[in-house]
Amino acid sequence: MNLLADIAQGTAAHFPSENFLNRELGILAFNRRVLSQARNPLIPLLERLRYLCIVSSNLDEFFEIRVAGLKEQVKLNSVSVTTDGLTARAAYRLVSDEAHSLVEEQYVLLNDEILPRFAEESIYFLRRSAWTTEQREWIKDYFFREVMPVLTPIGLDPSHPFPRVLNKSLNFAVELKGKDAFGRSSGAAIVQAPRVLPRVIRLPQELCDCEYGFVFFSSVLHAFVGELFAGMQVLGCYQFRVTRNSNLFVDEEEVKNLRAKIQGELPQRHFGDGVRLEVADICSDAMASFLLSQFNLGETDLYRVPGPVNLVRLMQIPDWVARADLKFAPFRPGFPKSLKKGNCIFEDIRTSDILLHHPYQSFSPVISLLDRAASDPQVAAIKMTVYRTGTDSVLMQSLILAAQNGKEVTVIVELMARFDEEANIGWATKLEQVGAHVVYGVVGYKTHAKMLMIVRREEGKSGSLLRRYVHLGTGNYHPKTARLYSDFGLLTCNEEIGADVNEVFKQLTGLGLAQSLKHLWQAPFSLQQNLLTAIDTEAAAARSGRRARIIAKMNSLLEPGIISALYEASQAGVKIDLIVRGVCALRPGIKGLSENIRVRSIIGRLLEHHRVFYFYAGGEEKVYLSSADWMERNFFRRIELAFPILDKKLKRRVIAEGLQIYLADNQQSWEMDANGSYRLRRSPRSKPRCAQSELIELLKP
């Protein structure tokens, strides 16, 4: 335990705080880059709306987790500072200003550009003032038939206190005048919109002079809210939405049954402390102040918006509108040539390692491998980690079938996978019911590594033997996200890698000291230290006048020890390229510190998710793929893996497809400056290069 306690301390920064950037501001900067996609007229219109919704979804989680954490520290009067030198109070002020600015830009873009462009394409979001008599009659009938029966208006008085409002739910605050049947005149009521009701309603085409006519649910309620308060005058009706702290508070040292504890905590997530209040921009000052007081929030937590308070619900529109000309052209993922049609997949893996590059190449080989293993009489055991897999997973169904067929099935289910806890508990229960061994990893360390191991009895030269087939990946075992996220996966039966993977499974299911691994770098034991060693090796080579090079691609770069090592390598003369999709705390391009480091972020139609680490290593060119970003949590509080690409041909593919093609991108690549600002990389004299488009073409069937 002392070893883990020492590891958990992390590595201190070797440089002053001014050489590090703030994490929360970096997240908001990332969302500005995503918002730029919604602003880009070259992107199909329905996809622009989708990007706008993605920003809102990202901001929801940002407030639920990151801002909630800052507010907790402010409440506790914390004076500690993070690596960038800011206190929680100072960071919160900066974050609040930037978040308000970002939200304002969102709605300006929606109202002034995207919705007018929709109208040009005969897709209308009809305002109440523009409803025709026929439309109003249809909407009124819809209100009485579909809406009113499920609404429960709550008048606010001593016997009807302010109701419990679910996290991120749509609600309406109604100002009233007059007395009801009992002589009450509180002047206010709350109407909660049930989640079963759609937030956007499509009108029948015959009622519209357009192909698609939509109305917002908020417009419907505003128009007919008076029907809920007979004989009273409605002075105002204002939509509002509160975002709550959604961190799960589980004291893991006191927990005896982790699953039961999490199941008990999940319902409370919907009612955590308020963090942000969104209201319609027409909301009266008195009502806004009243709502803020109900959620113990201040003026800086108030976001007035000229439109729906939940733009995430508009994510459905691109799916409803059948206009291929307003969407990205679909593409069909390719299939590795090494997987021969009609062959047994185990035979193909025995022939050579197989590299899968999703979503440009299909995820179906992973599905097929597990499906085949579930029914193959020669398969004796299956072991797998589950972090995110979805509520409807063919992979989980294959594991259930394997257990029913008498295979020895062991599944490491991560119960603390944020916002997927309920789905994972559900799968754990189903797996246990068919006799699978379900383990929840190591308390205090999230199991984030992506591992699948199949043990199969086969005939070898010297008789029967057990062979391990392994899949390792940079992304989750989630068929849906495998169509949207860029990730690498490796299928191999390399004996030494199989032995390493088996050792990690032993750690997760049993007890004992961590053993040395032949090829894999594992967090929390060796991953960060091996990365530091690899970086230092490049620095030493540069100091001695030899060639040195580092290229790394990841989602986030925050860990101060790694950043310090990169600064030292830059000072030694190592050329370093970092492709960081999201937040990066390193400041590139500072003379005498990081002038040899360039940082870029790729934002395109697909979400860049794979982690690739390249070191020149004296010409050996070591390449690792990993489940881990370069963050403290990944190095010290998670079970993570980085695995080498040993096959030279596959190594060249990873370098070409995972690194070089992104470094050449001059269409979707954003370059970062020392202050944390980004500018879109454009090279007017160079041939346009778009990494994602080129990979779609390169790997198509």
pLDDT tens digits along 573-586: 999 999 999 999 99
Interval 518-535 mean pLDDT: 97
Q: What is the pTM of this model?
A: 0.93
Interval 543-557 mean pLDDT: 98
For residue 512, what pLDDT band results from cuts at 50, 70 and 90? confident
**For position 182, what pLDDT does the model report?**
60
Closest listed residue to residue 259, CA positions, set 440, 442, 474, 122: 440
Q: Are 223 and 139 in contact (CB under 8 A)?
A: yes
Return the structure tokens found at 206. Answer: 């015959």
For residue 268, what pLDDT band results from cuts at 50, 70 and 90? low
**For position 428, what pLDDT does the model report?**
86
**For position 5, what pLDDT does the model report?**
42
Question: Do you find a cis peptide bond into 524, omega within 30 degrees of 0?
Answer: yes
With a pLDDT cut of 70, the percent of the chain lying above it is 93
**Tens of pLDDT, residues 641-653:** 999 999 999 999 9
Interval 664-669 mean pLDDT: 96
CA dist., res. 70 & res. 62, Å (int): 11
Residue 364 clears pLDDT 90, i.e. is over it: yes
Residues noted as catalytic: 448
**For position 270, what pLDDT does the model report?**
63
**For position 137, what pLDDT does the model report?**
97
Evaluate the CA torsion angle 355, 361, 366, 368 in order and state its sign: negative
Q: How many CB atoms lie within 10 A of CB 679?
A: 9
| Beta bridge partners of residue 87, listed in sequence order | 81
Q: Are 456 and 379 in contact (CB under 8 A)?
A: yes
**For position 56, what pLDDT does the model report?**
97
Lowest mean pLDDT, pick from 107-111, 297-301, 511-515: 511-515
Q: Mapping DSSP to helix (H, G, I), strand (E, B) and coil, where does residue 386 land?
A: strand
Instruction: Name the phi and psi angles at 443, rounded to 5.
Output: -60, 130
Q: What is the mean pLDDT of the chain?
A: 91
Closest listed residue to residue 696, CA positions, set 361, 428, 465: 361
CA dist., res. 587 & res. 596, Å (int): 11
Interval 24-35 mean pLDDT: 97
**Tens of pLDDT, residues 159-189:** 568 888 999 999 999 999 887 666 666 789 9
Residue 262 clears pLDDT 60, i.e. is over it: no
For residue 13, what pLDDT band results from cuts at 50, 70 and 90? low
Type of residue at 311: L
Residue 254 clears pLDDT 60, i.e. is over it: no
Q: Are 633 and 418 in contact (CB under 8 A)?
A: no
Lowest mean pLDDT, pick from 259-263, 354-358, 459-463, 503-507: 259-263
**For position 12, what pLDDT does the model report?**
60
Residue 125: its H or E element? strand 123-125
Question: Distances in Å between the alpha carbon of 469 and those of 166, 233, 349, 472, 497?
Answer: 46, 71, 8, 10, 10
Q: Which ranges in 377-453 belong to alpha helices (H)? A: 394-404, 421-433
Residue 367 clears pLDDT 80, i.e. is over it: yes
Tokens 């970062």 sit on residue: 672
**For position 671, what pLDDT does the model report?**
97
Q: What's the angle, vertex CA 692, arms to CA 686 and CA 695, rounded to 5?
A: 100
Type of residue at 344: C
Question: Distances in Å between the alpha carbon of 608 and those of 148, 170, 682?
Answer: 44, 32, 20
**For position 159, what pLDDT does the model report?**
58
Structure-model confidence comparison of residues 77 and 685, the more confident one = 77
**For position 172, what pLDDT does the model report?**
96
**For position 184, what pLDDT does the model report?**
64
For residue 142, what pLDDT band results from cuts at 50, 70 and 90? very high
Structure-model confidence comparison of residues 20 and 230, the more confident one = 20
Domains, the chain, ranges and CATH?
130-314 (3.30.1840.10), 345-515 (3.30.870.10), 522-698 (3.30.870.10)
Residue 356 clears pLDDT 80, i.e. is over it: yes
**For position 189, what pLDDT does the model report?**
92
CA dist., res. 386 & res. 431, Å (int): 12
For residue 342, what pLDDT band results from cuts at 50, 70 and 90? confident
Instruction: Name the phi and psi angles at 361, rounded to 5.
Output: -115, 150
**For position 8, what pLDDT does the model report?**
42
**Tens of pLDDT, residues 207-242:** 998 889 999 999 999 999 999 998 889 999 999 999
Residue 372 clears pLDDT 90, i.e. is over it: yes
**Tens of pLDDT, residues 38-51:** 999 999 999 999 99
**For position 420, what pLDDT does the model report?**
63
Determine if residue 419 is left, alpha or beta; phi over 0 gives left, psi from -120 to 50 gives alpha, anything else beta: left
SS3 content of the chain, % helix, strand, coil (to 5): 40, 25, 35
CA dist., res. 329 & res. 315, Å (int): 18
